[in-house]
Structure 1
Amino acid sequence: MISLNDYLYSGDTVLKILKKYTRDLQISAEKHQNEVDLIHSRFLKRTSDLLEHNDFLTAQSQKIREFYKYMAKEYAHLSFTFKGRIKSLIRAETKFNGYIVEFIYDYYIEHGVYPPLEELIKKLEGFRDLIAYRIVISMPKCHIRDDGEREKEEIRNLYAIANVMKDFLEKQGFRAEPAFGVKESASPLLNDSVRPYYRDYICHAKPDGYRSLHITFFDDSAKFYMEMQLRTKEMDDIAEIGSANHLGYEKRQQIERNRRDAVPEGENIYFDEAYERIRKLQELELAKVDVNMFSAADNSLINDGCGLYRGRLILPYEHLSRFQNDLID
């Protein structure tokens, strides 16, 4: 079995590592007629194309900035930030294989048999958040002092923004993708005309407290999918520095072990290989990795300008918050 870990000690750049891993995975997939690995290699090819031919990101961010300008005019009472990120190589590789492990496990537990290959392939082709932008809003306390009322007003504004964002960005050359009923919103604040396009993790909050609104667009000029996320400041804190991000290491390990115990080794090659790739990435000691332009003192202290690390690579721009301090009495 070929894994990303096999290429992280060569001293090559991330792009070279990615291309070699993609090439060898494709060759192996064709040799063994492994259709999942073929999809995996195509996913990695899209990732390398994104890193190598990223001029479109400047044009894309400028088009999204038009929505920022719209919000600055229409929501002058709010503070907000626009952020962008590309999934790092390790994070993307972990999530892709995580899709395989989770889908096969859930299907097996529910049906007592493994999923048909075509259903697994359909699941993997839904991976569309390599590029994501996030809008984080906050209602300044100078407007509403009570915490509960302020939260209600922030959520009301969040859905109001969601109601207009689809049509606005489609006029900028993006095309909204239906969510096909995944986490369909039950909120009366979301218009019926846009409801089919949003995955509502506010109505369907995750057990770890994660809440957000997600919508996927296809950029017709760049021929790439991107995801837009809408959150309040509190939701963003939970996702980035709170319970949704700091699920204990031991708890994560236990979840993975439970899945491994439920799916006997040797019964499903796709599960076995994806599980093993995740395990190897989790045990990776970044300080021992040899990648050009990458330096890590340990798994937490990392200097990386090339998209390798475990977290996110922030796009080379950030729109700053707009605070209406002039409105304070």
Structure 2
Amino acid sequence: MITLNDYLYSGNTVFKILHKYIVDLRKEAKRTGNEIDLIHSNFLIQIQEMLEHNDFLTAQSQKIREFYKYMAKEYPFLAFTFKGRIKSLLRAEEKFNGYIVECVYECYEKYGRYPTISELKEKLNCFRDFIAYRIVVSLPKCNVKNEAEWEKEEIEYLYQIANVLPGFLEAQGFSAESARGVLESKSEQLHDNVRPYYRDYISNHIESGYQSLHITFYDNSSRSYMEVQLRTKTMDDIAEIGAANHKAYEKKQEQERTRRKVIPEGENLYFDEAYERGKRLVNLELKDLDVNMFAAVNNSLINDGCGLYRGRQILPYEHLSRYQNDLID
């Protein structure tokens, strides 16, 4: 079995590593007739093309920036940040294999059988957040008359922005994609015409405490998908550095171990390979890797310029409220 880990100690650049992994994976897939490995290699080719030919990101980021300018005008009393990133190669590889493990397990648990190739393809088609943008809003307490209502008001503004976003970006050349009923919003604050597009982790309470609104768009110019996440600053802190981050990691590891117990080794080739690839990625000692133009101080602080681990930022904008800018009357 070929894994990404096999190429991370060669001293090559990220692009050469990715290219060699794709070529070898495709060759092995054709030799063995492994259809999922062929899909896997095609998925990696898409990543390679995005990293190599990313001029479209400039135009895309400028379109997103138009919404930033709209918000600055409509909500001068809010503070907010716009961030954009390309998902890291390691995280993309981990997530792709995670989808396979999840699909095989859920099909076996629900129907007592393993999924067909078409069912696995449908699951893998859900991977649409290689490019993602995040809008994080904050309502300064000095702009709230009743501090007890602060959190409620802040979330109300978040839903207001969510209601406007799809229509605004449609006019910029993006098409909102249906969430297919996944985590459909229970909030009355989300309008009916936009509700089908959002996955609502706020009104649907998640055990880890994670909260966010997620929506996927298709960029008709670059013919690529992107995800937009909307959060308050409190939600973002909990997700990135708080309990949700830690709990989600622990829960994921426990789920993986449970799934391995349910589906013994040798029962399903696609599960076995995806599980092993994911396991090897989790156990990587990143500081020991040898990738050209790459530096790792430890297992957290890594930068190769192409998003090998943490991902590459493509849109950093920050807006301060009028109060913070001392422009308030």
| TM norm. shorter chain > 0.5 | yes
AA partner of residue 192 (structure 1)? D
Aligned to 2:114, the other structure's residue is in SS state: coil
AA partner of residue 196 (structure 2)? P
| Deviation per residue, 1:243-288 (Å, 9 max, x gap) | 2222386664433222111111111111100000011111111122
Query: Aligned equivalents of 1:186 and 1:106: distance in 2?
Result: 25
1:57-206 correspondence to structure 2 within 5 Å: 57-144=57-144, 148-206=148-206
Task: Tell me if structure 2 keeps the 8 A contact 1:142–1:328.
Answer: no
Aligned to 2:319, the other structure's residue is in SS state: coil
AA partner of residue 314 (structure 1)? Q
Aligned to 2:217, the other structure's residue is in SS state: strand
Task: Tell me if structure 2 keeps the 8 A contact 1:137–1:233.
Answer: yes
Aligned to 2:82, the other structure's residue is in SS state: strand
More divergent stretch after superposition (143-152 vs 218-227):
143-152
> Which 5+ residue runs of structure 2 have no aligned equivalent?
none
AA partner of residue 280 (structure 1)? R
The root-mean-square deviation of aligned C-alpha atoms, in Å, is: 1.7
Task: Tell me if structure 2 keeps the 8 A contact 1:293–1:306.
Answer: no
Task: Tell me if structure 1 keeps the 8 A contact 2:51–2:306.
Answer: no
- Alpha-carbon shift at residue 322 of structure 1 (Å): 1.9
| Deviation per residue, 1:74-115 (Å, 9 max, x gap) | 112211110001100001100111111122212222222222
Structure 1 partner of 2:21: 21
| Deviation per residue, 1:31-60 (Å, 9 max, x gap) | 222121111111111111111001111111
Cα distance change of structure 1 residues 124 and 306 upon mapping to structure 2, 3 Å threshold: same
Query: Aligned equivalents of 1:203 and 1:268: distance in 2?
Result: 37
Task: Tell me if structure 2 keeps the 8 A contact 1:294–1:306.
Answer: no
- Alpha-carbon shift at residue 143 of structure 1 (Å): 1.3
> Which 5+ residue runs of structure 1 have no aligned equivalent?
none
Task: Tell me if structure 1 keeps the 8 A contact 2:202–2:212.
Answer: yes
Query: Aligned equivalents of 2:240 and 2:249: distance in 1?
Result: 16
Query: Aligned equivalents of 1:215 and 1:252: distance in 2?
Result: 23
Identical counterparts, % of pairs:
64
| Deviation per residue, 1:189-241 (Å, 9 max, x gap) | 11111111111111223211111111111111111100111111111111111
Cα distance change of structure 1 residues 145 and 98 upon mapping to structure 2, 3 Å threshold: farther
- Alpha-carbon shift at residue 328 of structure 1 (Å): 6.1
Query: Aligned equivalents of 2:64 and 2:249: distance in 1?
Result: 36
Structure 1 partner of 2:9: 9
AA partner of residue 281 (structure 2)? L
